[in-house]
Amino acid sequence: MSSAPRIKACIFDMDGLLLDTETIYSQVTNKILEPYNKTFPMETKLKMMGRDVRTATDILLADLELPLSFEEYDSQATELKKIYFRMALMMPGAERLLRHLTAHSVPIALATSSSKQMFRIKTEIHDTVFELFGDHITCGDDPDVKHAKPAPDIFLTAMQRLDSSLQPSDCLVFEDAVNGVEAANNASMNSIWVHDMRFSQDDAPPTEHTATERITSLLDFDPAKYGLSPYTEGL
Report d(CA 30, CA 105) in Å as an integer.
42
* CA pseudo-torsion sign 129, 131, 137, 139: positive
Indicate if 222 belongs to the active site. Answer: no
CA quadruple 112, 115, 120, 125: dihedral sign = negative
- Residue type at 89? L
How many degrees, rounded to 5, is the angle at CA 63 between CA 58 and CA 68? 55
Q: Exactly one of 15, 20, 153, 176 is catalytic; name it.
A: 15
Helix pair 70-84, 116-123: axis angle to 10 deg = 30
Distances (CA, A) of 49 to 6, 7, 60, 83: 29, 26, 11, 20
Query: Residues 13, 52, 153, 176: which is the catalytic one?
Result: 13
Q: How many CA atoms lie within 13 A of 218 on its CB side?
A: 24
In the residue annotation, 13 being an active-site residue is answered as: yes
> Residues with catalytic annotation?
13, 15
